[in-house]
Amino acid sequence: MESTNLFSTRRINKPDTTSSEIIYRGQPTGLILEGLILEQQFACKNGYLLLLTDDCPFEEGLHIHLLNFELQHLDTINMGKAYLPGMLQNVTSSNETLNFSFFGDDSWQLRVLQQPRFRISPYSGSWATFFFPLHRPLRFAFKPNYLRLEGTVYSKYGVLRFSF
């Protein structure tokens, strides 16, 4: 996985939206993805990994999108929830793995799988964001997933481990 600069975003001019059109090599693609600020972008064996945030520091959301080389949307993982601050930090990549922190005292490892794996996510759809800071859009809930996220969150209540 290598950092790239092939993409940019253009905000959608609609009220109450946190979505952007993806621009590839300076050309509009018509592809609309969740997120406003393109924080990081990587080229990997399956295509491109885009990390976008909502530009709202006190309720920041991180949207991790995987596109194939034809710019088709393969998978998404969203992080964040209301009243939960976040900031993308400590981003490092190696092979098909991305390491980062987002909620502060946490550590996440994102792997891009060569072959998608079918895994029904209990944290899918809009209801999931109310209870849980990790979720997949419902349209990806019952499809094979290319993205695998594992993390450790340290809190005053102890250590929480997630596999998603």
User: In sequence order, which residues have a C-beta less than 8 Å from that of residue 12 and are 6 or more positions away?
Assistant: 19, 20, 21, 32
CA distance 133 to 93: 23
| Secondary structure (3-state) at 22 | strand
What is the average pLDDT value for the chain, to the nearest integer?
Answer: 85
Q: 149 or 134: which carries more pLDDT confidence? A: 149
User: Which tens digits make up the pLDDT trace of 12-43?
Assistant: 888 777 899 999 999 999 999 999 999 999 99
Sequence spans of domains, the chain? 2-163
pLDDT for 138: 65
Q: What is the pTM of this model?
A: 0.88
Q: How confident is the model at residue 126 (pLDDT cuts 50, 70, 90)?
A: very low
pLDDT for 125: 47
